[in-house]
Amino acid sequence: MSEYQYYEFQALDRPLSREEQEQLRAISTRARITATSFTNTYNWGDLSGSPRRMVESYFDAHLYVTNWGTHRLMLRLPKEALTLPTVKPYCLDHHVDAWTTRTHLLLDLTSEDEGGDWVEDADDSLAALIGVRDELATGDLRPLYLAWLSALTAWELEDDEEEEYQTCPEPPVPAGLGELTAPQRALADFLRVDDDLLTVAAQASPTAPKEPAKPTKKELAPLIAALPQKEKDALLLRLALGPETGLRTELLHRLRGTAAPTTVPGRRSAAHLLDAAHTRRSERRQRAERERDAARNQHLTALAGEAEHIWQQVEAHIATKKTNAYDQAVTLLVELRDAYVHTGRSTDFRQRLTNLREDYQRRPSLIHRLDHHGLR
Digit-coded pLDDT (tens) for 299-310 = 999 999 999 999
Instruction: Count how many domains the chain has.
Output: 3
Decide which of 175 and 209 is more confident.
175
Q: Residue 345: inside a domain, yes or no? A: yes
Q: Residue 289: inside a domain, yes or no? A: no
Q: 198 CB contacts (<8 Å, ≥6 apart)?
A: 146, 149, 177, 188
Decide which of 281 and 243 is more confident.
281
Going edge to edge, which strands form the sheet with 37-42?
32-33, 37-42, 5-10, 61-66, 70-78, 104-112, 96-100
Same-domain pairing of 278 and 325: no
Same-domain pairing of 224 and 332: no
Q: Residue 293: inside a domain, yes or no? A: no
pTM (predicted TM-score): 0.76
Q: Residue 271: inside a domain, yes or no? A: yes
Q: Residue 44: inside a domain, yes or no? A: yes
Same-domain pairing of 160 and 240: no
Same-domain pairing of 81 and 198: yes
Report pLDDT for 97: 95
> Cβ of 62: how many Cβ atoms within 10 Å?
23
Same-domain pairing of 195 and 52: yes
Q: Residue 32: inside a domain, yes or no? A: yes
Report pLDDT for 369: 92
Q: What is the mean pLDDT of the chain?
A: 87
Mean pLDDT in residue range 8-21: 93
Digit-coded pLDDT (tens) for 97-140 = 999 999 999 999 999 887 665 556 555 689 999 999 989 988 89
Digit-coded pLDDT (tens) for 336-365 = 999 999 999 999 999 999 999 999 999 999
Same-domain pairing of 237 and 329: no
Same-domain pairing of 198 and 162: yes
Same-domain pairing of 231 and 129: no
Report pLDDT for 243: 63
Same-domain pairing of 246 and 203: no
Find the domain containing 315 and state its range: 306-372
Same-domain pairing of 250 and 264: no
- CA dist., res. 173 & res. 175, Å (int): 7
Same-domain pairing of 279 and 224: no
Mean pLDDT in residue range 241-252: 67
Q: Residue 327: inside a domain, yes or no? A: yes
Residue 82 per-residue DSSP state? S
- CA dist., res. 206 & res. 262, Å (int): 8
Q: Residue 300: inside a domain, yes or no? A: no
Same-domain pairing of 246 and 358: no
